[in-house]
Structure 1
Amino acid sequence: MFAITLGDDAELRPLEPWQAEEFLAHMDRGREFIGQHIGLPDAVPDLESARAYLQSYADKAASDTGRIYGIWKNATLVGGVLFRTMDVPQGTAEAGCWLEPSATGKGLVTRASRIIIDWAVRERGIHRIEWITSSENAPSIAVARRLGMTQDGVLRESYPYRGKRRDMEIWSVLGPEWRERRAAQRAASGTVAPNER
């Protein structure tokens, strides 16, 4: 299995069904915090559902329609990033994230998201990456901004969640924008990717 360093004793790795117990323990630590804006904690209340959730992403990976990756800090699973959907023929994908409270404010989601977006754009030819988040989820909106995404619009009261209808913001970045921005960042830092030489 591969692991990509995120710095600060953190790494990004695939999150697989055999890790269901660790995934559930992580979710239990962050259940209320994570559940403020997304339904992931509600989807995995026990070991069987945690395993089924991870298996659904293993199936998506096998059919090339989604991916899920964990973020480990000091060898403890503390969050993750994913492609909730991925339509390679259409060139579209929806990225997302979550973190337990102990991992917030360290830039882990931004760094992990850059890695998976780079992969989707460069290796899979994805043209449009979307980021859909509640208007109340300021940390998620901040990540979209740090990733250089553009706000496409707001779907007013489109998401009923825990007894309240929430506005959902749609952010996106297009493949050509992403490649141009990443090339400029690499040039500014003095590093060039092999396919940019």
Structure 2
Amino acid sequence: MYATPLGDDEAELRPLEPWQADEFLAHIDRGRDHIGQYVPLPDRVSDLESSRSFLQAYADRAAADTGRIWGIWADDTLVGGVLFRTLDVTTGCAEAGCWLEPSAVGRGLVTRAVGVIIDWAVGTRGIHRIEWRVASENKPSIAVARRLGMTRDGVLREAVPYRGARQDIELWSVLAPEWRAVRQANSETPHQPAG
């Protein structure tokens, strides 16, 4: 197994796999209400079987090279995750996403973790466009997009029905040349923890 450090605070990014279904379910249960405000993940992961099935679907996507999922561990506890919901190396487009339980909010973990996976997608896989879709009311996730140097492409009005209401979805993106420029600019200044 491998892990990528996410800073100086004992946090790291690791693959999230089906054998971790128990830990994943416990994590979702701890953050169910918080995570479920804007993300349907808690509705999809409600018991051990659905937890294993969700993670297996991403293992299958990884095997097919169409998606990936990673967990964020802080102090050796799973507290969140990031993923490529879609990954299309033929067109060079991917859609990133995230979630986090309340105990880990405000530490910059998502921003740093998404930065790691964008580095991988752009640098290793040759992805040209990374998209970020977020409910217009989800201000913390919009702040992540801004910190990552993404551009707001527009709003898909009332695009997604969610828990009895229709959500406006903002579409943000960063292109590979823009990402490289952001990373270059950040390497020329002292490291500042994101978030």
TM range (shorter): over 0.9
Alignment coverage as a number of residue pairs: 190
Match of residue 5 from structure 1: 5
- Deviation at residue 137 of structure 1 after TM alignment: 0.3
What is the CA–CA distance in structure 2 between the aligned matches of 1:45 and 1:13, rounded to whole Å?
Answer: 22
In the alignment, which residue of structure 2 is the partner of 1:67? Answer: 68
- Which consecutive unaligned segments of at least 5 residues does structure 1 have? 191-197
Identical residues among aligned pairs (%): 71
Matches within 5 A, 1:7-26: 7=7, 8-26=9-27
TM-score w.r.t. structure 1 length? Answer: 0.95
Mapped partners of 2:137, 2:54: distance in 1: 26
- Look up the match of 2:98: 97
Any idea what SS the aligned residue of 1:28 has? helix
Deviations for 1:14-46, whole angstroms, at most 9, x for unmatched residues?
Answer: 000000000000000000110000100000100
Partner of 1:153: 154
2:131 aligned partner: 130
Q: In structure 2, how many angstroms separate the alpha carbons of the residues matched to 1:122 and 1:179?
A: 9
Q: Alignment RMSD, CA only?
A: 0.9
TM-score by length of 2: 0.96
Counterpart in 2 of 1:195?
none
The 5-angstrom pairing of residues 136-175 of structure 1 reads: 136-175=137-176
Rounded Cα–Cα distance in structure 2 between residues aligned with 1:189 and 1:118: 19
3-state SS in 2 of match to 1:11:
strand
What's the offset of the Cα at 1:188? Answer: 2.8
Measured in 1, the distance between the counterparts of 2:86 and 2:143 equals: 21
Structure 1 moving runs of 4+ over 3 Å: none
C-alpha displacement at 1:187, in angstroms? 2.7
Offset of residue 184 of structure 1: 2.0
Residue identity in the other structure for 2:50: S
